Every structure is written in structure tokens, then in C-alpha cells.
A and B are shown apart, each in its own frame.
Chain A
Amino acid sequence: MLDNFNHLVLPNINLLLRGLSVTAYVCFFAFLLAIALGLVACLVRLYVPFIRVVAIGYIEFCRATPIFVQLLWVNYVWPELFGFPKTVVGAGIIALALQSSGYLAETFRSGIEGLSKGQRDAGLAVGMTNLQIMRRIVMPQVVLVMAPSIVNQMTVVIKSSTLVSVIAIPDLMYEALKLVNTWFEPIEILTSTALMYIVAIFLISILAKRVSDHFRSKFGLAGLV
């Protein structure tokens, strides 16, 4: 088995690493976009009465639709419907971002709603405006309290990203499956691939735990994982 590992995985490690870098690229931009969309959806839901319904619909749709279905939907339907995304990578990023933005919007919301009223009162009492309070007092605390769940959401993005190989994005899973189809030796390649994902995700969850413990001791903020 080790022998197989030597002549199957090692010679192709560059290919797998290139796939891993595509996975990282897709996940990174999907996550950035998810944070932006999630923040907008959350703020609209909380503070813009007229289009609150739209935000709620958006959040519920994103959360309730399975990622695989969303991925194919964005890939096949959006280009005809909206004229974008033009590439499969774009479709992958958008689909992953949609999925996570729904969860992040709810995470942000529970962070904002969980903040004690006194925090805002103290800002008002010294004459700060609502915008200043949002920027200087509410948001920083939401980020601190929610940091662990935000980081955890990143592991969800990575897990879901394994599916983008289906729309021919050359990510780690795609390269691995291609190798399997070339050599018909699934054990070593797929096991190594699985381990790469597991290690990446495990490291991120440890990071989330560390962050949570650190913030709890430094700021007395209980992280909600």
C-alpha cells in the first residue's frame, strides 16, 4: 500500500496541491462574499422595515436550499436568467456564498440582538449617534462574540466546496477524481485527499476554539459556537 502511495500520490502531489489551491481560492472569495451578503441581509432584516420581507425570504431560501441544488441552479440557471456568472468558478463562488450568507446573516442577527441594551444606552448617554454606536460599540462586539461561529462557518464552506468539482472547477476533489479515473487506484489517492480536507478543517475548528477561549478570558465575552 505504501508502495502504491509512493508511485501514485507523490508523483501527482503537484496536481493535488494545485487543486488544493483552487479550493482555497474558491473558499476564500466565497467566504468574503458571504460575509458581505450576510451583513447586508442582516442589517436590512433588522433596520429597513419596507424590504425586511425580502431579506427574510433571501435568508430562508439560502438556508433551506441544499448546497448541491443551489450550485447547479446558479451554474445552469443564472447565466441565462441574469447574464452572469460567466465562468464555473464564478458560479461556484456565488453558490457557496449564497449558502453561507444565509447562516451568517442569522449569526450576525443573534449577535446584535444578544447585546445588552445597556451597551447602547451607555453610548447614547455620552452623546454618541446611532451610527457611531453601531460602528464603535455594536459591530466590534458582534464580531468578537460571533468570531467562533464565523470561523466555524468557514469549515462548512470548505466542506461544501468539495461539490464544486461537479461543475468542473479544478479543485482538490476534481483533481483527485481525475487521477482515480486515470489510474483506477482509488485507495491511496482518495484517502490522501480525504486526509488533506480533514486536516484543513480540523485545524480551522481548533482555531475557532482557541479564538473563543481567548476572547472569553480577555473580554469576558462568551463565544457562541
Chain B
Amino acid sequence: MLGSLRESLDLTLFWEYRAILLRGLLENVYIFLGGAMLAMILAFAIGVARLSRRWTVRVLSTGYAELFRNTPEYVLLIWVYYVLPVIFSRLLATRFNFSPYAAAILALGASYSGFMSETVRAGILSVPREHTEAAMSLGMSKWMIMRRIIAPQAIRRMLPEALNQFVSLFKATTFVSLIAVEDLMYKVSMITVHEMRPLPLYTGAALVYCAIIVAAAQLIQHLSDRWRRRGWA
């Protein structure tokens, strides 16, 4: 056991392949950025829709949020990759395919838009009704009130929670390798097949992700504390 402990902590093998692994990690980052962007856009739309005065809009958007919040990310990923193209193909009567990247971004974006729409909704609700009334009494239009009065306050308030969601999203990018996106975990398993030495490679991957996420979490903690001190969040 001591031998294998030494071996698993001996990360020279991991280091040897650093160029390839780093390229893999970059794929994670791309998928993350794409997914985060999509999630944000959808989350804002859905979050606002959930507060609509029309009940049909409310029901539909709440249904959307509940659906994606309660669907396991991996199941959604597989579904988007395998099922959605088939449906599109039949509807459009042509062959239709997603690249793994597109499927990954779409699936993760949709999945996290469910969680984040809740954050958006809570953020908007946290702005006191009186602020809207004050703005209305000054003759501001609805859209202007949203843009100038509600959004700036709501965004500040939802930032810490949203950043935590982004961390989860980044974690979820690790299993896009399962639909053959060549990310870090994909490279790790390829190299493992080649070298037959899983210990240092998987341990290295675990440590790399752990370090990135601990650093991100620390940064978020630091930022939230600072925002709270400024009376922002």
C-alpha cells in the first residue's frame, strides 16, 4: 500500500502530459463559458417570466424551471445528444446532428438556467415594492424601472448565489467527456489506456479540479464578504 501511495502521489507522469491535459482543461473552460452564458440568458428570461402577471406565462416558466432543476444533468446531456437530433431530424425531414460541444453547452446551459432562474426571481423579489412605486410616481416607464431601478439592485443581491451556481456548472463540465468532448477527464482516460497507470493520473485530475474549485470558492467568499460590507449583497 505504501508503494502505491507513493505512486499515486508521484505526479511526474501527470506532469509529463501537461500540454495535452491543459488542452483538455481548456475544453472544460470553453464549455463552461458557453454553458454559463446560455444559462444566464435563459435564467433572466425565465426568472422574469415567473413573475409575470399572466398566469399562463407564470405556469409555463415555472414548469420549465422545475423540469430542468429536477432533471439530472447527465440524463439531460445524454438526452440532448442522442434524442434531440432525432426529433429535429424527423421534424425537419433532414439529417440533423449536434456536435458534442453544442450538445454539452445546450444541456448544461438549460440545466443551470433552471437553478439560476430561481436566483434571479429571488433577487428581483428582494427589491422592495416601494422602490418601484417611487419610480412610477416619478413617471418612469415599466422597462426603465426594470433596467434602472430593479435590475441593478437585484443583480447585486443575486451575485454570490449565482457565482456558486457557476462553480457547480464548472464541476458538471467534467462529465462531458462521456459524449466524447475531449476535455481533461477524456484525456486522462485516454492516457490511462495508453500508460496503464490510473493512480497518478486520476489522483492528479482530482487534485487539479479540487484546487481550481477551492480557489474559485475562496474568491467568491472574499468577493461576497466585500460586497456585503459595502452593503451590496
Contacts and interface: CB of A to CB of B under 8 A. Distances in A.
Interface stretch (B17-25, B71-79, B97-105, B138-146): B71-79
Contacts, number: 108
Contact of A202 (B8, B66, B76, B217): B66
B210 A76 contact: no
Contacts of B70: 155, 197-198, 201-202, 205
B125 interface: no
A85 to B, nearest CB: 15
Contacts of B87: 187
B3 to A, nearest CB: 9
A149 B47 CA distance: 23
Contacts of B71: 194, 197-198, 201
Counting contact residues on chain A (CB < 8 A from B), the size range is 35 or more
A194 B75 contact: yes
Interface in B17-56: none
B175 A163 contact: yes
B93 interface: no
B214 interface: yes
A82 B203 CA distance: 14
A64 B4 contact: no
B172 A173 contact: no
B136 interface: no
Interface string B185-202: 100110010000011001
A197 B75 CA distance: 9
A46 B195 CA distance: 43
Kindly state the interface size class of chain B when it binds its partner.
Answer: 35 or more
B209 to A, nearest CB: 5
Interface in A27-68: 60-61, 63-68
A92 B138 CA distance: 60
B205 interface: yes
Contact of B72 (A68, A158, A177): A158
A166 interface: yes
Interface in A141-166: 155, 158-160, 162-163, 166
A191 interface: yes
Given A162-B75, A163-B74, A65 B206 contact: yes
B78 A190 contact: yes
A193 B75 contact: yes
A77 B79 contact: no
A83 B1 CA distance: 8
A73 B78 contact: no
A90 interface: no
Nearest to A163: B74
Interface string A68-112: 111011001100111100000000000000000000000000000
Given A68-B175, A177-B78, A202-B66, A191 B83 contact: yes
A17 interface: no
B59 interface: no
A73 B8 CA distance: 11
A66 B208 CA distance: 11
Given A82-B1, A186-B86, A69 B205 contact: yes
A221 interface: no
Closest A-B pairs by Cβ, 4 of them: A66-B171, A76-B198, A159-B72, A64-B213
29 contacts: A60-B210, A65-B206, A66-B172, A66-B209, A66-B213, A68-B174, A68-B185, A69-B185, A69-B206, A72-B205, A73-B202, A76-B199, A76-B202, A77-B8, A77-B199, A80-B4, A81-B199, A155-B70, A162-B72, A173-B74, A186-B82, A186-B86, A190-B79, A190-B82, A190-B83, A197-B70, A197-B71, A197-B72, A198-B70
Given A190-B79, A194-B75, 20 more contacts: A65-B210, A66-B171, A66-B174, A69-B185, A69-B205, A69-B206, A70-B206, A72-B188, A73-B205, A83-B1, A158-B72, A159-B74, A162-B74, A166-B175, A173-B74, A180-B82, A191-B79, A197-B70, A201-B70, A202-B66
